[in-house]
Amino acid sequence: MRALELTPEHPIADLADHARAAERAGFDTAFVSHHYNNRDQFAALTAMAAATDRIDLGPGVANPYETHPVTLASRMATLDEYSDGRGVFGLGAGDASTLANLGVERDSPLRRVLESMRVARRLWDGERVDHDGTFRATDAALNYEPGPIPVYVGAQGPHMTRMAAKHAEGVLYNGAHPRDYEWASERVAEGLAERPDERGDFDFAAYAIVSVDDDGAAAREAARFPTAFVVGSAPPPVLDRHGIDHERAGEVGEAVEAGEFREAAGLVTEAMLDAFCIAGDPDHVADRVDAVLEYADSFVAASPLGPDLERAIELAGRAIADD
């Protein structure tokens, strides 16, 4: 996979244009992120499907808390049908800080994601489903036949990463530093050791914030806002791996949860940028992508991509193509 993430902070018509640009730049997959305060994820993906011919498309990621998992499976199947089989289901537990704004308690995230994946697969296979676990479904079924869709699990912690390697087609591992991927590759290996043979090949995909520009300093400045979201939800072991102060990270998370996004971005330190994003000029980005791909199988360049998005899509495509 050679992919990028687009965020629906931009108008949907613009995202369709960016998807066309991504296709021209040689990307084979485009994900669209989800936060309630942005435009609708699946509406954006539908417009992108209409504007493109070959690029695969999917949520990066959808969470099964705001939307019932059965409904979410049907939305994903609809996208796959509309795009002539180009759907990729990115599924994860969601961002704790923004879910809290909605009064959503993100309980049992690993079980919720695993159960949602299993139920979705059964629905796509044409089964009627009864389920009683982290959510309930009674005699649920789709009245159309979508067929199989690859599932990529968004992960950062050890348990979700292992679960993805055991059960999913791929993992979208949220990190940007080779140190994280060295650690994550060990968790992937643990999950693969228990993976049933019938599950087939597995894709360990790096899902890294990328900001690239001919002006490296401008690229780093553009990365502060998305880095704040990562820092605010990063578990303590990840902070410790990079020597990030827990108190400062907590302040970033509180600002994100309060909707004070400019304040959150201002609290992001240079050390946080180095740990949680790949930001700089094209040569720097290409070197960092190379270092990550020493461990990962494929790469997703996550937003913001750069201060000039059109130019950044082109530059990111080149940086990843060099690998």
* Structure token digits, residue 91: 């599924």
- Together in a domain, 179 and 270: no
- Together in a domain, 82 and 43: yes
- Together in a domain, 183 and 299: yes
The reported pLDDT for the residue numbered 148 is: 96
* Structure token digits, residue 232: 């605010």
**In sequence order, what are the beta bridge partners of 136?**
132
Which positions ≥6 away from 131 have C-beta within 8 Å? Answer: 115, 119, 137, 140
Read off the pLDDT of residues 3-31 as tens digits, 9 standing for 90 and up: 999 999 999 999 999 999 999 999 999 99
- Together in a domain, 100 and 182: yes
- Together in a domain, 135 and 238: no
**Strand 151-155 relative to strand 89-91: parallel, antiparallel, unpaired?**
parallel
Whole-angstrom Cα distance, residue 147 to residue 150?
10
- Together in a domain, 124 and 36: yes
Read off the pLDDT of residues 234-261 as tens digits, 9 standing for 90 and up: 888 889 999 999 999 999 989 988 889 8
CATH code of residue 108: 3.20.20.30
Closest by CA to 5, choosing from 14, 46, 15, is 15
C-alpha 39: how far from chain center: 16
Read off the pLDDT of residues 283-317 as tens digits, 9 standing for 90 and up: 999 999 999 999 999 999 999 999 999 999 999 99
Local structure of 260: helix, strand or coil: coil
Residue 277 near residue 226 (C-beta atoms within 8 A): yes
Read off the pLDDT of residues 159-189 as tens digits, 9 standing for 90 and up: 999 999 999 999 999 999 999 999 999 999 9
Domain that holds residue 172: 2-225+280-321
Whole-angstrom Cα distance, residue 180 to residue 155?
12
At which of 276, 291, 313 does a domain end?
Answer: 276
Query: To 5 degrees, how large is the angle CA 253–CA 257–CA 259?
Result: 120
Which positions ≥6 away from 213 have C-beta within 8 Å? Answer: 219, 222, 281, 306, 307, 308, 311, 312, 315
- Calculate the average pLDDT of the chain: 95
- Together in a domain, 125 and 263: no
* Structure token digits, residue 311: 């130019």
Please determine, for residue 60, whether its predicted confidence score (pLDDT) is greater than 80. Answer: yes
pTM of this structure = 0.93
- Please write down the long-range contacts of 100-104, taking CB distance under 8 Å and 24 or more positions apart: 100/257, 101/36, 101/257, 101/259, 102/36, 102/66, 104/65, 104/66
The reported pLDDT for the residue numbered 322 is: 52
- Together in a domain, 259 and 148: no
- Together in a domain, 58 and 114: yes
| C-alpha torsion angle, residues 7, 12, 16, 18 (rounded to 10) | -40
Q: Which residue type occupies 129?
A: V
Count how many domains the chain has. Answer: 2
- Together in a domain, 233 and 210: no
- Together in a domain, 235 and 152: no
The reported pLDDT for the residue numbered 180 is: 95
**Number of alpha carbons in the 13 Å side-chain half-sphere of residue 53:** 2
Please determine, for residue 320, whether its predicted confidence score (pLDDT) is greater than 60. Answer: yes
Which positions ≥6 away from 106 have C-beta within 8 Å? Answer: 65, 93, 94, 96, 99
- Together in a domain, 14 and 105: yes
Whole-angstrom Cα distance, residue 88 to residue 72?
13
Q: Mean pLDDT, to the nearest integer, of 63-67?
A: 95
Please determine, for residue 323, whether its predicted confidence score (pLDDT) is greater than 70. Answer: no
